[in-house]
Structure 1
Amino acid sequence: MPDEHVPVLQSMGAAILLFAAAFWVFVLIGLARRGYFGPVMWSTGRTPRVLRRQRRSAPTLESVELTPAERDAFAGLVRRLSDGR
Structure 2
Amino acid sequence: MPDEHVSILQSLGVALLAFATVVWGFGLVRLMRRYRSGADLWGADDFLHGLPSQREAGPHLEAVELTPAERDAFAVLVRRLNDGH
> What is the TM-score when the length of structure 2 is the normalising length?
0.55
Q: How much identity, in percent, do the aligned residues show?
A: 36
Q: Aligned Cα RMSD in Å? A: 3.9
Given the superposition, is the C-alpha separation of residues 74 and 31 from structure 1 closer, same or farther in structure 2, using an over 3 Å criterion? farther
Distance 1:29 1:15 in 2: 21
1:36 counterpart residue number: none
Which blocks of at least 5 consecutive residues in structure 1 are unaligned?
34-39
Shift of residue 15, structure 1, vs aligned partner:
3.6
Instruction: State the secondary structure of the residue aligned to 2:84.
Output: coil
1:76 counterpart residue number: 76
Given the superposition, is the C-alpha separation of residues 12 and 72 from structure 1 closer, same or farther in structure 2, using an over 3 Å criterion? closer
Q: Please tell me the residue identity of whatever aligns with 2:20.
A: F
Instruction: State the secondary structure of the residue aligned to 1:83.
Output: helix
The higher relative CO (CA closer than 8 Å, separation ≥ 6) is in 1
Q: Please tell me the residue identity of whatever aligns with 2:73.
A: A
1:15-60 Cα deviation digits (max 9, x unpaired) = 4421233225525764793xxxxxx575133546886543211111
2:21 counterpart residue number: 20
More helix per residue: 2
Given the superposition, is the C-alpha separation of residues 12 and 76 from structure 1 closer, same or farther in structure 2, using an over 3 Å criterion? closer
Distance 2:27 2:49 in 1: 22
Instruction: Tell me how many residue pairs correspond in the alignment.
Output: 75
Distance 2:29 2:48 in 1: 18
> What is the TM-score when the length of structure 1 is the normalising length?
0.55
